[in-house]
Structure 1
Amino acid sequence: MKLVILFLLPFFYLSNSKSYSAIFSFGDSLSDTGNAVLAGLPYGMSFFGRPTGRCSNGRLVIDFIAEAVGLPLLPPCTAKGKSFRRGANFAYIAATALDFGFFYRRGLGGELWVNASLDTQIGWFEKKMPSLCGSTQECKDYFSKSLFVVGEFGGNDYSTPIFAGRSLTQAYALVPKVIRAIRQDDYTNIGCLNKFNNLTSYHNSLLQRKLYGLQRKYSWTRIRYADFFNPTIQFISDPIQYGFSADGALRACCGAGGRGDYNVNLKAKCAEPGSSVCSDPTTYVSWDGIHLTETAYKLIANSWLYGPYAKPPILHQTALRIIKEIFLLTEEGWIPAGSLISPVIARIGTKNAEEDVNVLARGCNLFEGRWVLDEQNSRPLYTEESCPYLTRQVTCLSNGRPDSLYQKWKWKPNSCELPRFNGAKLLEKLRNKRLMFVGDSIQRTQWESMVCLIQSAVPESKKFIHKDPPRKIFVAENYNASIEFYWAPFLVESNADHATKHRVQRRLVKLDSITKHSRQWKQVDILVFDSYVWWMSNPLINATFGSDDTREYDVLAAYRLMLNTWAKWVESAMNPQTKAFFMSLSPMHLWSWEWRDGSRGNCFNESSPIEGAFWGSGSNVRVMRAVEEALREMKVDVTLMNITQLSEFRKDAHASVYTERRGKLMTGEERSKPEMFADCIHWCLPGVPDTWNEILFAYLLSM
């Protein structure tokens, strides 16, 4: 197979997917629909019955995207007598991100056989523009309803020095330049060379950072990051799961033997004398050792159209309906079969919940329901003024938020009523016990919420806060009970474990080290764990595992290793009498166009929940699956608190610009730029975390 160098691209668009007027595609041989014609069969054999210039046996990802949005397959821009009003393909085989001159100045010009860099392709597009629209307003309207697909770019930039015999260090040196143009073990467990895949990951990491900056700068556009690399790795790692044969994972369908029995021989490439083609391309991932089969491209296209490998999916509104079905325990097609929400979530207490309506024993799912406006004036359950333990990060009203409606919504499960929180009753349950929340700032907010919910039931002289970094402890002396928070954003040890000084330039996580933290958890009666937000800042993370050697890990792989370390501690060292919970991920609401077409903001100025099914790009499905799988395989019962979907609806309840930034309240200038500074990760209090604790209250009563 081709070294998977890059395999990713951003999408730019401004309109509802159903009203696209055109698609314009830029890239290399992964997207070229015929600008550089490959003349011979078996290219094109499976769908077109003839070669069309596509480097596959049939359609490419861009073809499936066009079909999905109701547009014709894109004609190559070099086609004669074609209308390009509904789109055109400017991609070209062997295209680079960097211009031709860049390689010539470094003595690499002879390694390239075409001048079709990204700048060149944009130039071709600009020449076509007069035939597409006339006036400035007409062009603005036309292109605002168009989808621009940019990439894959980068693979040829890096392979040029590599195949010319230059060092891999020289290839690494190109990565920042390529990104600007776009705006240790030797082998992995599937037999791929780590050094090349690490180069890919480095590129992908820088590209995602750049795209994030571009989205903030050009907030009127919609920029998506889509991933070739990870789905391809999934195909190779588990071919049977995706409908490929075991032999078709690494072996090319069309080729001529060659080293390693991959059916790749550069002296007899596909369609050249001496090559042959497999009998069933649908069972192969790779078509010719460089490009993929139509079957693989279709799976990748679906993962971009509906998720999870485009952030957010292209057909986002359609994806919402699909995600809703997935969320209701059915998962089909792209993601391997298996439920997002397993019986682990339903494995709740079976004891009587006293007089507070025995909802858990009756089998009520407290996580499925809807938000309703409180008509009995029972919300909020406390106020900013009545709870002296709230920090400025969460006191949105005091910080200047003009509306308070976000405090008035109540969560109503579909088949029962959520028991009303009773602080005295919970304290009685916690008598002579310790309840500890472990995790990051989201978990700290849940701790503050719980303290505020419970503190009014304790006489003033019998309650206090004790700070013992990285712990904060609320003590109810008359119950000999404590409600504690322990700062451990990654659960395992890291260089960000200082309770207040955890802003570090280069994060480092020790994926197999947990003792420093866990010794503080041993004598706790109830543990509530959380870890998500700190993992999501980059696709790669610096970490150690098994030795002191630092390397970059894919975030999901690192997250799974963390879960494994944590699970081993729970199974082997946690007190058998301790009850453990794990909070599912807390959603982020970063792009308002995900829930309201045509908008260009984020959570700022939102005043009501989202209606209908919704799953935003800030909630990583694969992380949810990793947690669910880890809990299912554990020998100790840990209850997963699935607060993600109910929180997804609450775009209105984030701290936004009414909070602190780097320890100080946001300035007027910062508040005037919500597209840059709004905090759409953390929550206001009173607010959504109170509902999390109401649900936790029901669980604790059932113990």
Structure 2
Amino acid sequence: MGTIDLFNKEKSLSIIKRLLPWTLCALLPISYFYPLPFSPYPNPHLPHFPSNNITYHSSLSASASPPSSAEKEKSNEAECDYFNGEWVSDSRGPLYNDTTCGTIKEGRNCITHGRTDLGYLQWRWKPNECNLPRFEPQTFLRHIKNKHVAFVGDSMARNQLESLLCMLATALTPNLVYYNKAGKENQFSRWHFPLFNATISLYWSPFLVHGIEKSSTNPNNNLYLDRVDEKWARDMDQMDLIVLSFGHWFLIPAVYHEGDSVLGCHYCPGLNHTEIGFYDALRKALRTTFNSIVERSRGNGIDIIVTTFTPHHFEGEWDKAGACPKTKPYRNEEKQLEGMDAEMRKIEIEEVKEAKGKARRRLRLEALDVTKLAFLRPDGHPGPYMNPSPFVKGNAGRVQNDCVHWCLPGPIDTWNEILLEMIKKWENQPKSED
């Protein structure tokens, strides 16, 4: 795996101010992580997710929906590169809004919170080589029939899952069948679509590996890079598709452990540890995760998709009236993906490729490479509308902005449109055998 590159103290101190915006990504999820009340809450004190034993009646048929000729035609574009293209004007708008979804999380509900420049909803991603089909909720549900899809990671995993549930709810209302509200345990939830016996779950695991999050008494995260996080991994034998989304919490001060040794730390003044970079720590964590999935899959054929790192769009200092005021996407020639954003994406792409080459069990693994798509959408964040009616009291110069997460509906819906195309492509693609 190689040794971790050392950062001298001057370099570490010079980049820490740039990383401050990502502290927001660490703090906001704590207040946002409450279950989506699509249905009445069950017992919140169950130690593990329960099995599904719910009946449901609907006019929607789970079996009488063979792929249409249009869908078959779309599948011919399975080899298309969906990740290189541009945002083009589209007057159709999203599949859902702030009233049709059921419940959009408070901090993402930009329309209800008073955002009036709704032009950000009138754009669609157009790959260079093909067309990206509009999301078909029934098709997605048919492809995950009798399966369990698990979103694992940080608040960006939650954001993507929220988007998916909103789009699926336009066809069939998901039933919330599990959550745990003890402390931070409300960051674990499960939804079920009984007609398709399909399950979608959320597992909060911002490092994927075992980690002790920072607290009032300990300002640093502690990461154990050679141990997968059992809070999600213990349920791995129940999962058919795992969608991983992480990286943001690696930018926060941390101490890194491997075995019984401390490898070093990222910005931990006052501790007698070597200052090291977070890039190789992220790489080690992802490699440990892939190895653990392969070792535990036992030939069951778990599929893995890694949603790549998404940049923030703060203009100015995030804690000094920094904002994301743009109302239109960037054009490709306006901005170049570079620096930390490009490096984080590069690591994830490289590790996915490496793991695919080494897989000896039945395993399918791909990167949902949305970094560039996200980079070009500075207009898609909640900004000041993370809070309701942020300017009613005339505090425009002091209101906090969220330029990390994404409005719902918004650009992040595209992530799930591409996710569906990846799943459709896999339908006729054999898994690697032992």
TM-score between both structures, scaled by the size of structure 2? 0.73
Query: Which aligned pairs between 1:113-124 and structure 2 lie closer than 5 A?
Result: none
Structure 1 residue 581: deviation in Å? 0.5
Q: How far did residue 400 of structure 1 move?
A: 2.1
Q: Which amino acid in the other structure matches residue 653 of structure 1?
A: G
Residue 361 of structure 2 corresponds to residue 641 of structure 1: no
By how many angstroms is 1:671 displaced?
Answer: 5.7
Q: Distance in 2 between matches of 1:611 and 1:386?
A: 31
Tell me which residue corresponds to 2:346.
625
CA contact (8 A) 2:286 2:351 kept: yes
Residue in structure 2 matching 1:492, options 206, 209, 213: 209
> Is residue 353–residue 698 contact of structure 1 (8 Å, CA) maintained in 2?
no
Q: CA deviation at 1:548?
A: 5.6
Structure 2 residue 15 is matched with structure 1 residue 208: yes
Distance in 2, Cα, partners of 1:476 & 1:362: 27
Structure-2 change in CA distance of 1:359 and 1:645 (3 Å) = farther
- Whether 2:370 is the aligned partner of 1:650: answer no
In 2: Cα distance, 1:502 partner to 1:641 partner = 35
- Cα–Cα, structure 1 residues 550 and 367, in superposed 2: closer, same or farther, change >3 Å? closer
Encode CA deviations 1:56-103: one digit per residue, 9 max, x unaligned. Answer: xxxxxxxxxxxxxxxxxxxxxxxxxxxxxxxxxxxxxxxxxxxxxxxx
Shift of 1:412: 1.4
Please state if 1:530 is matched with 2:242: no
State the match for 1:464 in structure 2: 176
State the distance in 1 between where 2:3 and 2:79 align: 42
Considering only CA atoms, is the larger Rg found in Structure 1 or Structure 2?
Answer: 1
1:609 maps onto 2:329 in alignment: yes
1:686 paired to 2:422: no
Contact 2:211 2:229 survives alignment (8 Å): no
Per-residue deviation, 1:642: 0.8
| Paired letter, 2:258 | F
Residue 421 of structure 2 aligns to a residue whose secondary structure is helix
Q: CA deviation at 1:562?
A: 0.8
Q: Contact (CA 8 Å) 2:212, 2:222: kept in 1 or not?
A: yes
Tell me the distance in 1 between the aligned counterparts of 2:206 and 2:367.
18
Q: 1:389 to 1:360 in 2, by over 3 A?
A: farther
- DSSP 3-state at the match of 2:373: helix
CA contact (8 A) 1:431 1:480 kept: yes
Quick check: 1:532–1:586 contact (8 Å CA) kept in 2?
no
User: Alpha carbons of 1:624 and 1:502: their partners in 2 closer, same or farther (altered >3 Å)?
Assistant: farther
SS in 1 for 2:134: coil
Amino acid at match of 1:586: T
Decide whether aligned partners of structure 1 residues 615 and 554 sit closer, same or farther in structure 2, where only a CA change above 3 A counts: same
Query: Post-superposition shift, 1:542?
Result: 1.1
SS of residue in 1 equivalent to 2:100: coil
Residue in 2 aligned with 1:355? 70
Task: Name the structure 1 match of 2:59.
Answer: none
Q: Supply the distance in 1 between the matched residues of 2:177 and 2:306 (Cα, whole angstroms).
A: 25
SS at match of 1:206: helix
8 Å CA contact 1:587, 1:616 repeated in 2: no
Q: Where does structure 1 differ by over 6 angstroms across 4 or more consecutive aligned residues? A: 501-504, 664-670
Q: 1:401 to 1:513 in 2, by over 3 A?
A: same
Secondary structure in structure 2 of the residue aligned to 1:513 = strand
**2:150 matched residue in structure 1:** 436
- Describe the superposition over 1:410-440 as per-residue Cα deviations: whole angstroms up to 9, x where unpaired: 1112222211211112112211111111111
1:566 — aligned with what?
289
**Alpha carbons 2:314, 2:324 under 8 Å: kept:** no
Pick one of 69, 78, 82 that aligns with 1:366. Answer: 82
Note if contact 2:321-2:400 (Cα within 8 Å) is conserved in structure 1.
no
CA positional deviation for 1:448: 0.3
Alignment partner of 1:398: what SS?
coil
What is the percentage of aligned positions where both structures have the same residue? 26
1:233-248 equivalences under 5 Å are none
Query: Is contact 1:586–1:619 with CA below 8 Å preserved after alignment?
Result: no
Partner secondary structure for residue 82 of structure 2: coil
Match of 1:543 in 2: 256
Shift in Å at residue 210 of structure 1? Answer: 5.2
Question: What secondary structure is seen at the aligned counterpart in 2 of 1:560?
Answer: helix
- Separation (CA, whole Å) in 2 of partners of 1:672 and 1:520: 46
* Equivalent residue runs for 1:663-682 within 5 Å: 672-673=396-397, 677-682=400-405
Distance across 1 between alignment mates of 2:116 and 2:217: 31
Superposed CA RMSD: 3.3
Shift of 1:551: 3.2
Give the conservation status (yes or no) of the 8 Å contact 2:208–2:229. Answer: no
Offset, 1:205: 3.0
Provide the C-alpha distance between the structure 1 equivalents of 2:18 and 2:366, rounded to a whole number of angstroms.
37
Counterpart check, 1:419 vs 2:164: no
1:404 to 1:618, Cα distance in 2 relative to 1, 3 A: farther
CA contact (8 A) 1:589 1:602 kept: no
Match of 1:63 in 2: none
Work out the CA distance in 2 between the residues paired with 1:695 and 1:536: 27
Residue 521 of structure 1, CA deviation:
2.5
Q: SS of the residue aligned with 2:213?
A: coil
Does the aligned pair in 2 maintain the 1:588–1:619 contact within 8 Å?
Answer: no
Whether the aligned pair in 1 keeps the contact of 2:255 and 2:262 (CA below 8 Å) is no
Letter in 1 for 2:345: M
Write out per-residue CA displacement over residues 647-702 of structure 1, whole angstroms, 9 at most, x where no aligned residue: 11101011111115xxx99686796236x832211111101110000011111223
Separation (CA, whole Å) in 2 of partners of 1:416 and 1:652 = 25
Q: Which amino acid is 2:227 matched to?
A: S
Alignment partner of 2:256: what SS? strand
Partners of 1:396 and 1:658 within 8 A in 2: yes
Q: Distance in 1 between matches of 2:131 and 2:373?
A: 15
Cα distance in 1 for residues equivalent to 2:163 and 2:133:
17
The gaps in structure 1 that reach 5 residues or longer are: 1-187, 214-351, 594-599
CA deviations on 1:233-279 (whole Å, 9 max, x unpaired) are: xxxxxxxxxxxxxxxxxxxxxxxxxxxxxxxxxxxxxxxxxxxxxxx
Distance in structure 1 (CA, Å) of the matches to 2:250 and 2:167: 29
Q: C-alpha displacement at 1:491, in angstroms?
A: 0.8
**1:181-209 per-position Cα deviation (integer Å, ceiling 9, x unaligned):** xxxxxxx969x9xxxx67x33x4333434
Structure 1 segment 27-106 matched on structure 2, within 5 A: none
Please give the TM-score of this superposition, normalised by the length of structure 1.
Answer: 0.46
Q: Sort the Cα spacing of 1:373 and 1:503 in 2 relative to 1 into closer, same or farther, 3 A.
A: farther
Contact 1:491 1:566 in 2 (8 A): yes
Q: Which has the higher contact order (CA 8 A, sep 6+)?
A: 2
